[in-house]
Amino acid sequence: MSFLDSLSLGFGLVAHWQSLAALFCGIVVGVFAGAIPGISATMAVALTLPFTFALPPIYGILLLLGVYKGGIFGGSIPAILIKTPGTPASSATVLDGYPMAEQGKAGKALGMALYASCTADLISNLALILFAGWLASFALSFGPPEFFTLILFSLTIIAGVSGASLLKGLISACLGLLLATVGLDLVYGTERFVFGDPNLMGGLNFIAVLIGLFAIPEIISFIWNPDDSHDKVRSLGQHHVTFAEYKRSFKTIVRGSLIGVFLGSIPGIGAAPSAFLSYSEARRNSPRKANFGKGEIEGVAAAEAGNNGVAGATLIPLLALGVPGDVITAIIIGAFMIHGLQPGPMMFMTNADIIYALFIGLMVSSVLLLLVGSVAIRLFRFIADIPRSLLFPSVLVLCVFGVYAVNNSVFDVVVMFLMGWLGYFMLRVRMPAAPFLIAFILGPLLEDNFRQAMLMSGGNFEILFRGPITWFFWTVSVISIVALVRNELRERRSRFAEEPA
């Protein structure tokens, strides 16, 4: 069967109103579920799965993909409006999105989030269609040693999101690393900082830490100092993104999308690290570096491009190898299997029509996301107009419910409030929260992959230098650390020069 035959067969499968309806429903469900803190994209996909059993395979899978993509974008809405990331993937969006909402540019931030998401989605889908085979073999050459060096390099992001003081950023990162060690040891299964409490055996819940660190400190500061004076600024949220702004951010969006495609095609990393990496790269390359973290629209674009760039690319290992890159794609593999389809290299021969139908559906989904997203933004933007004295109590209720719903555990709610106080303290001493979060995500990955690599080699460090991939990441890590130290020294010198001693 030639390429064109498969393509036309695929087109025949997907060109029905039902497949469009399935995608549309999926995206709507995803955007709204993602917008509710505590309902992650993963949970939304898992809850949608039973509905796909009765549908023909192509509709069912398109429905799930719609939920996935919608969910990743939906998470950015509360991240921008109420500083509460709806999904872990959108935590990088908070950094510039919320300051923008504070300045009355909520509409602009949301618009940019949507355009960046859709562009990244499109690029990611194109990468899937054109380079799936090549990227999949690249992904498979990522063993624990390669992972270790990649994450080591990613940790240099911390410097990019530390704000004014690198030292405070590092302290924040250390706190994150420390709290991430709670739970069971990966290799020996022994308990670390569990204190005999079964609730702590599983470690601290990520969503609880995330919401506690970002949303709760805002609420505590409001209780400390209740005034609605900011509202005049906030309620001016009717700005739209201009084409010039989109054009200015376009390079950043493409860069973020490519980072997303690479990280997404490697199983086991996920969207959050990709969003942070894209953000820090954007900051490093931007002429408006100083404005990052204070409401820079390019920061929002970078973060959203980074996390949505992952969405299409996670299908690369799924379709090309049959390997689930994360929990969401594991659920989607389940949906394939229920319909008697087995994703993997053979599927390109046995069910090429379904693969091409999926490809076409995916391209359509980027357009549908743009439509659904614009409507959703119009609805949600009014949140920015609600006075704080009404908004914050509702946010608090939403946070408590959301965190409880993740694991149906009151303990997680307690964790959220404790993290909230820690976050408030950090806010008061101007210690940035983002390094904490990055360390909390990446620390355990770094440790696990290091120890897996050591198990593989029997304790020989040489394994960390095997192959060109490890050497590449070692080199870029060294370069970024050197650049960092040099910048820091230069800034310090210029500060000394300004202040006469």
Partner 1 sequence: MKALKYLAAIGALGALLAGPALAEYPERPVTLVIPYGPGGATDIGVRALSGPLGKIMPQPLLVVNRTGAGGATGSVSVANADPDGYTMLAARVGSHTVNPAMKATLPYTLDDFVFVGVFEINPVVCAVSESSDIKSIEDLVNKAKENPGTVSFSSSGVGSMLQLAGAMVLNAFGLEDPLDNATHIPLKGGGEAATAVLAGTATFICTNSSALSSFVANGQLRPILVTTPERLDGFDAPTAAELGHPELEQLVGWTGIAGPKGLPEEVSAKWRDWLKQATADKTFVEQMTKRGSVIRLMDPEESQEFINNQYETFKKLVDELDMRIEG
Binding site for partner 1 (CB under 8 A): 42-43, 45-47, 49-50, 53, 140-144, 183-191, 198-199, 201-203, 267-268, 317, 321-324, 327-328, 330-331, 333-334, 337-340, 342-347, 407-409, 448, 452, 455-456, 458
Q: Compute the least distance from the CB of residue 150 to partner 1, in Å.
A: 15
d(CA 474, CA 271): 23
Nearest to partner 1 of 158, 335 (CB atom): 335
Q: Compute the least distance from the CB of residue 285 to partner 1, in Å.
A: 33
Nearest to partner 1 of 274, 314 (CB atom): 314
d(CA 257, CA 127): 10
Question: What does R_g of the chain's alpha carbons equal in angstroms?
Answer: 22
Nearest to partner 1 of 12, 345 (CB atom): 345
Q: Compute the least distance from the CB of residue 407 to partner 1, in Å.
A: 5
Nearest to partner 1 of 115, 206 (CB atom): 206
Q: What angle do CA 50, 373, 15 make, to 5 degrees?
A: 60
Q: Compute the least distance from the CB of residue 200 to partner 1, in Å.
A: 9
282's tokens: 């954007």
Q: Compute the least distance from the CB of residue 484 to partner 1, in Å.
A: 30
Give the Å distances, CA to CA, from 320 to 135, 263, 329, 354, 362. Answer: 9, 16, 13, 14, 16
Nearest to partner 1 of 256, 443 (CB atom): 443
Q: Compute the least distance from the CB of residue 432 to partner 1, in Å.
A: 28
The neighbouring-strand residues paired with 183 are 192
Nearest to partner 1 of 10, 343 (CB atom): 343
Nearest to partner 1 of 328, 372 (CB atom): 328
138's tokens: 């690249």
Placement of tokens 């889908």 in the chain = 125
Q: What angle do CA 291, 295, 300 make, to 5 degrees?
A: 105
The amino acid sitting at 329 is T
Contact 441/274 with Cβ under 8 angstroms? no
Nearest to partner 1 of 49, 55 (CB atom): 49
Query: Which residue in 119, 487, 120 sits closest to 306, CA to CA?
Result: 120
Give the Å distances, CA to CA, from 369 to 27, 70, 372, 437. Answer: 7, 7, 5, 28
Q: Compute the least distance from the CB of residue 469 to partner 1, in Å.
A: 12
Query: Which residue in 106, 43, 17, 79 sits closest to 213, CA to CA?
Result: 79
Nearest to partner 1 of 147, 424 (CB atom): 147
Q: Compute the least distance from the CB of residue 49 to partner 1, in Å.
A: 7
Contact 325/317 with Cβ under 8 angstroms? yes
Q: Compute the least distance from the CB of residue 141 to partner 1, in Å.
A: 7
Q: For residue 192, what is the enclosing H or E element?
A: strand 191-192
The number of beta carbons lying within 10 Å of the beta carbon of residue 418 is 15
DSSP 291: G
Q: Compute the least distance from the CB of residue 455 to partner 1, in Å.
A: 5
Q: Compute the least distance from the CB of residue 74 to partner 1, in Å.
A: 17
Q: What are phi and psi of 191, to 5 degrees?
A: -90, 140
Nearest to partner 1 of 345, 393 (CB atom): 345
Burial 456-482 (b: 16+ CB within 10 A, else e): eeeeeeebbeeeebbeebeeebeebee
Q: Compute the least distance from the CB of residue 367 to partner 1, in Å.
A: 28
Give the Å distances, CA to CA, from 458 to 89, 296, 452, 461, 463. Answer: 35, 48, 10, 9, 10
Nearest to partner 1 of 203, 237 (CB atom): 203
Nearest to partner 1 of 387, 467 (CB atom): 467
Placement of tokens 């955007």 in the chain = 31
